Amino acid sequence: MSYQPVPTVRRRRLGSALRRLRTEAGMTLGAAADALNAAEHGSAHARHWTAPKLSRIENANATLRTAEVTTLLRAYAVDDADVRAALEVLARDAAKRGWWQTYRGVVAPAYADYIALESDAESVRDYAPLVLPGLLQTPDYARETIAAHTVTRDKAEIDALAEVRLARQAVLTRPAAPLKLWAVIHEATLRRRFTGRPAIMTAQLRRLLEVAAWPTVTLQVMPIDAAPNPGDAGAFTLVGFRGPMPDVVTQENVCGPTYVEGADDVHVFADAFGRIVDSALSAEATVALIAGLAGDGAVPSGRHRTRGSRPDQNDTSEQA
């Protein structure tokens, strides 16, 4: 399967947001171009706006300067300061090289797109039934799982991919607005062992205990004895953004991540995540279980396993 790396994911998101704002303003492409030309008439910096040009912008086939985004938002009567700031930042960053581009020889374009999304995100909600989320992995766990899941990579490439996975974790501790992470992990994932190397999983479990104490991280475990729930359909990740940017769902497969961006479809996944949370252990019971598996405490029996509670879908401050 071929994958076209251009346009960038940031440019696609910007174009999609501008299309939505134009539509909400009740403007066709032609009407928007006329309004823009009228507003800039006589200006020394006037640009010639056309419907085809706006179409190229909205379809991510043309670049935009920050000043041009400001002009478009003014024409669409967007007064919300947060919306304006979010889109202006997105335009400014669209042409920037991400740190992951240093690894472009081993990072597939689809994976690079995901890293860009994650880097811009405000929150991530992750259901992980088989492998721990990359944002929570230790170096040894990352290296071992990457090696186990690939048949075409040599040791140098595996080491490079492990470096990328660990570098992604910087979003959890960035000084300005750390990423909020809410991860539900299946108990079977925590009970897996690396043959002949038990210390890998012990260190990984203790890393989970460390991160679980962070105020921006919520961990829950889906117990082995849980009733059937939407998590049975497989892993998925909900990536959330500030301002006008809609959430995006990613699902991993053998060809790399695939994306779900339609609002109705994303809502289905958000509801599924809420039901998964309902079926999982509470954060407190999760910590007790992980501590027991790590040898740092007793594993709670079934009768002490308090279930979690569904996140408030209207309160994104806790949805990570």
pLDDT at 3: 37
Q: Does the N-terminal peptide bond of residue 7 adopt cis geometry, omega within 30 degrees of 0?
A: yes
pLDDT at 44: 56
Residue 296 pLDDT more than 80?
no
> Comparing 8-12, 41-45, 159-163, 180-184, which segment has the lowest mean pLDDT?
41-45
> What is the rounded distance in angstroms from the CA atom of residue 231 to the CA atom of residue 221?
12
Q: What is the per-residue pLDDT across 99-133, written as a single tens digit (0 to 9) for each?
A: 998 998 899 888 998 999 999 899 999 999 999 99
Give the HSE-up count for residue 203: Cα atoms under 13 Å, Cβ half-sphere: 11
What's the chain's average pLDDT?
87
pTM exceeding the 0.85 threshold for the entire prediction: no
Q: What is the per-residue pLDDT across 246-289, written as a single tens digit (0 to 9) for each?
A: 899 999 877 778 888 888 999 999 999 999 999 999 999 999 99
Q: Which domain CATH number covers 105?
A: 3.30.870
54: enclosing H helix or E strand: helix 51-58
Average pLDDT over residues 76-100: 86
Average pLDDT over residues 1-18: 67
4 assigned to some structural domain: no
Identify whether residues 150 and 209 lie together within a single domain: yes
Identify whether residues 184 and 298 lie together within a single domain: yes
Identify whether residues 160 and 271 lie together within a single domain: yes
Confidence band (pLDDT; 50, 70, 90) for 34?
very high
> Comparing 100-109, 187-196, 280-289, 307-316, which segment has the lowest mean pLDDT?
307-316
Confidence band (pLDDT; 50, 70, 90) for 158?
very high
Residue 305 pLDDT more than 80?
no
pLDDT at 314: 38
120 assigned to some structural domain: yes
pLDDT at 94: 75
Q: At residue 63, what is the residue type? A: T
Which of 77, 93, 109 is the last residue in one of the domains? 93
Residue 6 pLDDT more than 50?
no
300 assigned to some structural domain: yes
**Residue with more model confidence, 96 or 215:** 215
Identify whether residues 116 and 15 lie together within a single domain: no
> Comparing 81-85, 145-149, 219-223, 312-316, which segment has the lowest mean pLDDT?
312-316
The CA distances from residue 155 to 161, 197, 237, in Å, are 10, 19, 28
Confidence band (pLDDT; 50, 70, 90) for 16?
confident
Identify whether residues 106 and 58 lie together within a single domain: no
Please state the length of the chain.
320
Please count the structural domains in the chain: 2
Identify whether residues 47 and 111 lie together within a single domain: no
Other residues' Cβ atoms within 10 Å of the Cβ of residue 104: 13
Q: Provide the residue range defining the domain that includes 212.
A: 99-304
pLDDT at 261: 82
Q: What is the per-residue pLDDT across 59-81, written as a single tens digit (0 to 9) for each?
A: 988 888 888 999 999 999 999 98
Identify whether residues 57 and 105 lie together within a single domain: no
